[in-house]
Amino acid sequence: MTVMTKVESSRMESEAIYNKTIPAGEGWMHELKEGQVLRIVDLEGNQAADTLFYHADNPEDHYSAVATIAAQGNVYLTAGSILLAESGKELVKIVADTCGRHDTVGGSCSAQSNTVRYSHEKLFMHNCRDTFMLQLAQYDCAYTKRDLAPNINFFMNVPVTPDGGLEFADGISAPGCYVELESLCRTTVLISNCPQLNNPCNAYNPTPIQVLIWDK
């Protein structure tokens, strides 16, 4: 299914309790209280925000792509999608979305995947897996690399081909597009603002994203 659902938000930036810009290639990890709303903004368009969610009271219970896809019957996320943990617990719900579709199956780039997809000369390049691991190490000793799982790629366009393969295609987002997620429990958010220079998901030009939080 490739249904795209765009829903705008009534929340005003001036009323947010938290506002931060994350440069391309950097990461962010933050806890959301139940009922808080997180907005992720694609400031310049076609940027990929690799994202994971954890149940803050049980860090081992992280976002599950398989459970989420099965529950909603769709490999893409959009307004109305509820993101589930491995246990089936509801972590967050997309309550607004002006991009319309987000990838759940493309995964994050790593040193290893860069060499397989592109060339062995790409091994040294900055990648999302390394950013994830750095953020986990700096945030809390309760998290380790074993807590990394298949992630969401907000704003990234990864069409599923007729034969079941994946295609890393030009982005469908635009400057100022955003996605808003309401936390359904105490949830920890982990983001890597992708530094990828080897595929067209961000027009070969990684750019900043913005994160804002509103109280319940």
pLDDT given at position 3: 61
SS3 205: coil
Name 147's Cβ contacts closer than 8 Å, sequence gap at least 6: 54, 59, 60, 62, 136
Residue 213 near residue 38 (C-beta atoms within 8 A) = yes
pLDDT given at position 205: 83
Q: Tokens standing for 185?
A: 């429990």
Residue 188 near residue 103 (C-beta atoms within 8 A) = no
pLDDT given at position 181: 98
Segments in the chain below pLDDT 50:
1, 111, 116
pLDDT given at position 70: 96
